[in-house]
Amino acid sequence: MPRLLVTGGAGFIGSNFVHYWLRRHPDDRLVVLDALTYAGNLANLEPVKHNPQYRFVHGNICDQALVEKLLVEEQLDTLVHFAAESHVDRSITGPDAFIETNIVGTHSLLKAAKNIWLDTRRQEHRFHHVSTDEVYGSLGPHDPAFTEETPYAPNSPYAASKAASDHLVRAYHHTYGLQVTTSNCSNNYGPYHFPEKLIPLVITNILQGKPIPIYGDGLNIRDWLYVEDHCRGIELVLQQGRVGETYNIGGNNEWTNIDIVKLICDIMDELRPRSTRSAELITFIKDRPGHDRRYAIDAEKTMTELGYQPLGSFETGIRKTITWYLENEAWWKSIMEGSYLEWIEKQYSISDPTAK
Ligand code: NAD
Ligand code: TDX
């Protein structure tokens, strides 16, 4: 019976993973370690708060002594590492936190895992590192999708920090024999997605009658995956993945930003009609510096080796997501204050919103 340490479990994907895992494996021990940065939210974990199998620890992944203490005192044998600074735009305006958490923090976790699982106890263990497709760089319109063999070419400080952490994880396996796996996933969407990211930003801006900011020409392409499919992919890697391997997890679901925004506008008009059409809020603004043009994931290896398949259609997933935001207004409204408002002001306070 695995005993899990989930880092970053109060964030978007981490909290979805906690719910997924405890639903599917109710007898497993699961400890969340999270620093509760602006992106971490205990409300995301409210539904499991009283579950005796679950424990929340407020702490930083850079605190090696704390991680070692938890591994020993809770007899943990599996670490699922979500904790990160995750927003590309914030990495452009302030990269330091990305270096600290994504690189130094991941290294600190690796040192703790090596110290306890290899040097002290010599026990069976797994260190699973959650990474992103952004490490592979940007694709042209007709390029084949990223495979696990695609050379790394990260373009943003965020992507570079994730790439560095992937390399450290690989090196701890190769050099010390730490039992690691890594998964590289495409853009997730679903419940508890922090409203700074495109899909929840569009939904919550429509609900507030605010402009929908689209960077550049809106023709950048992302592959969107429902967050529960990502959680299932990680579960398969934990259960059947080969140690030392990396696995791509994707949705086979490429959309231009403008098309996805128009789709959300149409669904919003149907579910929550307003006096004007939501699409009228669309505002093209200055492009993101270094904006990657296209991401696409080839998940063939994960599908054939582990039986991974994204379940459900995008149409179903996006409707479920929009409905979640409609039904959980208190959740996203409570975020719309303090430091988040300052970020929005700084990022989008372009006096001429059409300035290029
Ligand atoms: P998120 O920003 O929503 O959550 C990150 C969580 O990590 C927060 O709870 C935060 O408090 C915590 N955290 C940050 N710094 C910490 C530190 N130093 N110590 C402890 N906790 C800390 O991120 P997310 O979107 O849920 O992404 C989770 C992981 O998945 C990240 O590693 C990200 O790179 C990766 N990923 C995300 C996506 C996506 O589409 N969101 C896609 C592929 C991979
Ligand atoms: O206001 C916006 N306007 C806009 O046009 C925002 C916030 C985004 N965009 C565009 C930029 C991207 O082309 O939408 C696309 C998606 O943007 P984000 O939601 O910021 O995601 P992205 O930059 O693709 O990165 C995401 O996927 C990979 C996650 O944030 C990363 O953590 C993950 O690794």
- Asked if residue 251 has its Cβ within 6 Å of ligand 1, the reply is no
Residue 25's φ and ψ, nearest 5 degrees, are: -135, 70
pLDDT of 338 strictly over 90 = no
- Asked if residue 201 has its Cβ within 6 Å of ligand 2, the reply is yes
For residue 63, indicate whether it is catalytic: no
Ligand 1 centroid to 233 CA: how many Å? 17
Ligand 1 centroid to 82 CA: how many Å? 5
Which of 187, 264, 321 has the most ligand 2 atoms within 8 A of CB, as the residue to mutate? 187
Closest CA to 80 of 25, 43, 160: 25
Q: In this predicted model, what pLDDT tens digit does every residue of 184-243 receive, in sequence order?
A: 999 999 999 999 999 999 999 999 999 999 999 999 999 999 999 999 999 999 999 999
Domains contained in the chain, CATH given: 3-190+224-249 (3.40.50.720)
Which ligand 1 atom is at minimum distance from the Cα of 87?
A: 2
Q: In this predicted model, what pLDDT tens digit does every residue of 97-134 receive, in sequence order?
A: 999 999 999 999 999 999 999 999 889 999 999 999 99
Give the pair of three-digit tokens for residue 228: 């529960």
Distance CA 47, CA 15 (A): 10
How large is the greatest C-alpha to C-alpha distance in the chain, in angstroms?
65
Q: What would the mean pLDDT of 139-150 be, rounded to a whole number?
A: 98
Containing 106, the helix (H) or strand (E) segment is helix 106-113
Rounded (to 5) percent helix, strand, coil in the chain: 45, 15, 35
Give the pair of three-digit tokens for residue 128: 């699973």
Q: How far apart, in Å, are the Cα atoms of 24 and each of 13, 21, 28, 228, 251? A: 16, 5, 9, 12, 22
Closest CA to 25 of 302, 317, 241, 239: 239
Ligand 2 centroid to 204 CA: how many Å? 15
Give the pair of three-digit tokens for residue 93: 């305006």
Question: Which residue's C-alpha comes closest to atom 34 of ligand 2?
Answer: 132
Ligand 2 centroid to 96 CA: how many Å? 19
For residue 34, indicate whether it is catalytic: no
pLDDT of 354 strictly over 80 = no
Give the pair of three-digit tokens for residue 34: 């999270």
Which of 6, 7, 37 has the most ligand 1 atoms within 8 A of CB, as the residue to mutate? 37
Share of the chain above pLDDT 70, in %: 98
Q: In this predicted model, what pLDDT tens digit does every residue of 293-326 receive, in sequence order?
A: 999 999 999 999 999 999 989 999 999 999 999 9
Task: Work out the pLDDT band at 350, boundaries 50, 70, 90.
Answer: low
Q: In this predicted model, what pLDDT tens digit does every residue of 2-48 receive, in sequence order?
A: 999 999 999 999 999 999 999 999 999 999 999 999 999 999 999 99
Distance CA 10, CA 39 (A): 8
Q: Which residues on adjacent β-strands are paired with residue 30?
A: 4, 54
Say how far residue 303 (Cα) sits from the centre of its chain.
20
- Asked if residue 35 has its Cβ within 6 Å of ligand 1, the reply is yes
Question: Which residue's C-alpha comes closest to atom 17 of ligand 1?
Answer: 60
Q: What secondary structure does DSSP assign to 239-252, as a single string?
A: HHPPTT-EEEE--S
3-class DSSP state of 324: helix
Strand order of the β-sheet with 29-34 is: 54-58, 29-34, 3-7, 78-81, 126-132, 180-185, 246-249
* Catalytic position from the list 34, 85, 89, 133: 133
CB 281 within 8 A of CB 287: no
Distance CA 10, CA 8 (A): 6
For residue 295, indicate whether it is catalytic: no
- Asked if residue 225 has its Cβ within 6 Å of ligand 1, the reply is no
